[in-house]
Every structure is written in structure tokens, then in C-alpha cells.
Structure 1
Amino acid sequence: MGDLLITTPAARQVIDTFFYDLPYVIALPVAFLLLAILLVYASRASEARRLYVALLQYLVVFMLWTTADSNIVHEAFLTDEFWRHASMAMLYLVPVSGNYVGYAALEPERRRGVLAVIAGNIACFFLATVSEAFGFDGYARLLPILYGTLPFLEGYVFWQLWRSARLGNRNSWSMLFPFVLVTVLGVVDGVNEAAHFTAMPTHVMPFGVFSFFIVVMQFLQDRLVREHSLEDATVHLAYQAAIAQERAEVDVLTGCRNRLSFEMTLREEITAVRQSGRPLAFLMFDIDHFKNYNDTYGHEAGDEVLRRFAGTVRQMLDKRKPFFRWGGEEFIVLCSGADLDEAAVLGNTIRRRVGESVVVCGQHVTVSIGASTWHGSFDTAEKLFQRADAALYEAKGDGRNCLRVEPPAKTAQGG
């Protein structure tokens, strides 16, 4: 019974239709997938945009051809004659669009010969279409020319791609296998069309679409490499910008943050304390008798005093207490979250440590310190600075090497 069913005309027609359409059923979803991937990346492609567009055109033509050549489509929509004309027209356009992919992959100096090949493909399509329009069955009559010239024309394009690939063109390299496979399968179709080696005139060239996965994977790999390179470049630029910003805000001699950085930081601190209500204290340092080091021992000795003083103070401060060189021998510490008494304790600790450990040219370095504190919303940066400066002036007037706080509290903090 099974053998009888298979040999009935209806069953045989179903089987024939299945085997005829099998290459199209397999290849069409693959072409659609490749087309979808390329559409996602082509919209953002800056490099090789022409090649993206060429591949998209090829896949569209390929999908139209496979759809139009399908027996299922013939039986389901319109007339068989319409689909025969459509499939034959697309078959002539497949080498046109395929060679344009090769054209787009090549360097400009190698494109002229490939352009001549494309012109020949278009001429063949045009002649076949015109002949078909005048009733001379041009599509069928010119098929031997289409298939006969295929090895030579595609061979020339392959040769140009090979030369380009040997010079390092990755796009040309990825196109080599698809060109070979599609050409070989096209020749097989042409030979079968002429000699009828198989019972059914189906095509195997649709299977060539699988080879274009190599091209798409090459695109994706190159894009990932470019994106990683861009990320690395962005990180490097951000790092360089951070270094440049840090250098712009750092005093080269002492390693302290400079006056520009102080002004920006003070504004930020005042904004923060106004919002939070936390305390803020201000310490201003002046190295005692600094001019004597320059006059007696030279400017190198003076620079050494500044460097060693700054290094000693930095070791005693945390991140909440930024340290600045205001100018000359004057330095400032902002004490975020500290009140006046806490700042005075810190200032005296620094003063004693400097006096004990910083010795230049046999002389112990000492400092005078003025302290002030933030008074609330009605206070200003200028007033905060002026009160610390007045306290520092008082400390210097009281014999130096001591700390004084802003008025009205004038209790000596030295000793």
C-alpha cells in the first residue's frame, strides 16, 4: 500500500515539489537571518558602509530569486508565468549584485575591472529582458551565455579579491570562499540545466548563502575590535584628561594642590556645608623667616624647606582635609566636618611635628598658624579667609611658631 501511494501522480507531485523547493526552504531563512544581522549593524557602520549596502542588496536579490523560483509560491500566488519571469529576472541579477559585493570589498584602484564585469552582467540581463519582452524567450535562450561566462567573469573577480587579500584587506579575504562556492554551485546549476543530470531542474546555488556567514562573522569581529579599541581609547583619553586636570591643579614644587584648586574646592565645601549644616574650619600656615633661607642659603634651600614642609604635612592629613599652597610660603588646610577647637588641635599637632622633624641647613623650620571657622549661612568665603589671615597675623606678632584663632576667641594655642 505504501509503495502504491508513493507512485500515484498526486504523491509524486508532492515529493517532486518538496525536493525542488528543498534548497530554497533551507537557504531562505539563512538569508533572512544574515539580512537581519546586517541591518542591525549597517545603520551604525561608519567603515565599509558600501560593503554593508552591497551585501544587503545581494541578500535581497537572492531572497527574491529563491522566493520566485519556489514551486510552492507558484501554486499559491498569481500565475505560474509571472513567477517564471520573476525568478529568471532575479537569476540574472544574482551575479550583478554578487559582483557588486566584490567591487565594494576591493580598494578603489582594483575596482575598474570588476566594474566592467558588472557592466557585462547588466548587459546580459538587459538583453535577456528586452528579448523576453518581444516574445523571443530571451531569459531561456541566454542562459547558456549566463552560465558559460560565469566561471570566467567570477574567476576574474576572485583573482582581484585574492590579490587584495594578500595585501591585508580583511574584507577581500572573507569574500574569497563565498565567491568560490557560489561560482562552483552556479556552474553546477548551468551544467545540469544543459545536460539534465538530475530528473528535476532544481538549483543548488542557494546553498551558497551559508558561506556568507564568514563575511558577516568577519564584520562582527572587526566591529568588536573597533569597539574595544574605541573603549580603550576613551579610557586612555579620560586617564590623560584626569592627569592633565590633576597637573593643572597641583603645585609642581611641593606636590600640594594649587591656588586655583583651592578656590574651586572652597566653593564646593561652602555649598556642601550650607546644605548639610556640618562645620568647616580653615587653617592658614606661614613658614617663619622663610626669606632668611633664600637670602642666607640660596633659593635651592628655600625650595627644600617648602618641599619638606609640604611632605610632612601631607602625611598627617586624610582625604577630608585637602592641603593647598596658597602662594610663596603660605599654605592652607580645609578641615571639613571639624569645628574651630578640632582644627586648632590639628594645627598645633602639625606645628610641633614640623618643628621637630623638618631641618634644613641645620635650622629647624617652624610655622605660624591662623585658624577660622564657618559662621553659618550669612558667612562668606572672603570673610572666612580674612579671619584666618587676621589670626595668622596675630600669631606672627606674638613671636611666631604658634597658633591663634579668629576673634573673639584669642586664647593662645601655642606651647
Structure 2
Amino acid sequence: MRRIDIIKRAGRNLRQSKGRTILTALAISVGAFTIGLAMMAGEGGRLYTNNIVDSAGDKKVITVYKKAVSSSAEEEALPEYSDSKDKNKSSEVKDRSSLRSKYSMGDEDLAKLRSISHVEKVTPSYSTSGIVYVKSSGNGKKFTPDIAVKADRTRAELAAGSLDDFILKSGEAIIPESYVGKMGFASAKSAIGKTITLGIRGGSSWSASASKEISLKIVAVDKQSDTTIFYQPAVRISSDDAKDIYEYSHYKGLSNEYSLVIVSVDDVKNIDAVKDEISKSYTASSIQDARKALLTMVNVAQMALIGFGGLALLASVFGIINTMYISVLERTSQIGLMKALGTSGRDIGRLFRYEAAWVGLLGGLIGVGSASLITLFNPAIASALKLGAGTNLLVINPIQIILLIVSLMVMAVLAGWLPSRKATKLDPIEALRTE
């Protein structure tokens, strides 16, 4: 018999026993539903995680800190503050610098990091402690907000304005949406193009008052988002402006000190190699570390759901075997007649295996179809979890779904192998005698 004829005949045989076929397919569909839903949740979880991580930092950036080395207990003790008038001010500054240098990085560290292969750019984190106040052009009031330096291409959720490649240029600033009203602006959109003025104290004196002012143009207003891991309302300025402020306010008698350094790598694929090299001398971390940790949790949860689905499929395997055995017993005389008419044992075996494959296909379609319908509730799920509009936690991956259905068909064929083998071994004479 031709293969296509055997497949058609298998389908007709199943239609003749609809009730048994549907019940067996439903048993398979339970496992298919669970595994399909796990795959959709895993795909949605990975996409959501990637969105969170992409907004948390630049994928080609490594944050580097000085690796502090513990020394004597005396040095680890908390130092006392001395208000002795006889102590020279410059000497006191040097003592403080000595304590800070244990955790700070200097120009020699920058040179060392620049020499590492695949490092494209090294950007030190300049201190903004020299900023005394921020004055708004909206109402003329002075504020003392947190100041942050935007040193990389980390994606920002914007309420208004725009950023070219998410990088701030010299003379530009970002303010948070929560500052808009307090700074005298009617809305986030109306704040775009306005200015803020930074009051800066000089590094040549110990005065706490501002001795210089610089104006920055507001080019964007950012806001909190459900895809943001770490968000702190702050006035964000460029690395170039931070450097100018640092050089003006830094005490001239001290060498440069940086709390951390941002290392940009030429390609994402080189992140791990560069990080491993940097970690020999410094403490290094990248956004890829957070991505791996979060994806590991998503994958573990997905595998747990797939495991439950696998148990349901294991139970359905015995159901297929039982169904196929009963089918062989009921059609023993039919099998004998087919053999007497010249049908080979191989074709009879194929007939029962194809019947099993049809059952697997039907069960897979029912289970996966039911799981796919759950994706219609994505908006309700996002609302219940208080996620942003348009967030989908259940995402269909067509390739995964097709592979799942094919796998179920293969599983059904394997489950039907023993019954089909029994059918091929039947003696036609004995089979024809069976009532």
C-alpha cells in the first residue's frame, strides 16, 4: 500500500471510534496545554527580562570599582574627627585623601584599563559634590536635588523630549517627571528647551557658597517605568559637564580620584572576556550578569512547569498503549483479512503507528490551541500585576509550538509501537478465526 493510502486509512479508522479517540487525545492535550503554556510564559518572561535589563544599562558597558584589600585592624577602625585648630587644613585634606584612596581609583587605573584588548572607551565617574544648588528657569527657585551622570547609552523611559542614541551632550540635562511641577513648569513637554542653572563652588577655597554658575538646556524628562530595575529621581548631566564641574570644584592639592569607572567594550560578544581580565585587579560587573541571573530564574520556572506537563504526558503514554492494544484486539479478524489479501506486516504496523500519530497530532492541537487562547488575557494579566500597557507575559513562539506538536506525534508513535508490533505478528489464519 502507498504511504498516503495508509495515512488516510488510519484517519478513517479513528473516525469510526470517535469517543475513544477524543478521550485519548484529551489525555495528551492536558500535558500539551501545560507545556505549551510554560513555553509561552518562558518566551514572554525572557522578552520582559530583556526589556528590563536593556533599560537598566548599556549591554556593552562594564562598571569597575577598586578592589579593596583588608589590612590591619587599626586601619579598619572608624577614624575619629579632630577639630584641632592647630592642625593644618591641607594636612587634614591629605589624611582624608589617604583614607579615600583605599576605595578610589586614579589616573593610573584609567591607563591600565585602556590598555586592555577590546576596550573602546574608559569613562571615570566624576564627583558632582561641588554642585551647591540647581536653579530652575521655570520659577527661579533653587533646589538641592540628587545629581547623576549619564555616562553610557542606558535606555531611559521618557515622558517628554528625546535623546540621540540615549547619550547626553555637553550643555544638556534631563530632569525627572516628579520635578516638573516643583520647578515651575506646566508640563513635561513645556519643560523641554528650558534651562536649569547649576551653582558650583570652587576647589581653591573651603567656602560652601557657589562661586560659579553654568546653564544647561533641558532636552528630556524621564520617568519611572515597570521595566526599570533601578530608578532614582535625579537631575542627569553629561560626562563632559561632570568633568568640567569636577575639575573646577576639586581641591587643587589632591590627585584625581574616581569612585568608579565605566568601561565600554567594542562588541557585546567580548564582554565576558574583558570582564574576566578586569576582574584580576578590580571588582567588575556588567548588565549581562543581571541578565543571566534573571534569565536563569525564568528558565528554572519554565522547566518546572514543563516537568508537570511531562508527568501528564507520561500518563497519556499508557493511555495510547491501552487504546492501541484494544484497537488491535477489536480488529483482529480485519487484520487477518488484510494479510490474506496480500497486505504486508510492515504496512499493517504502519497503519497502527499512523493512527497513534493522528491521536498525538489531535491532542497536541487541542492542548496548544487552548494554551494559545490564554494569551488573549495578556492585558488582564498585565493590569493585575500592575505592569505597563502593552506588556505581554505570554508570547507564542511558532517554532517552539511546531516542535512541541511534532514531539507529541513522535511520542505517540513510540507509544503505539508495541501494539503495532503485535498486529504485524498475528497469524492470518488464526486472526480470521477470531469472532
Tell me which of the two structures has the higher relative contact order, counting C-alpha pairs closer than 8 angstroms and 6 or more residues apart: 2
Same fold judged by TM-score > 0.5?
no
Greater strand proportion: 2
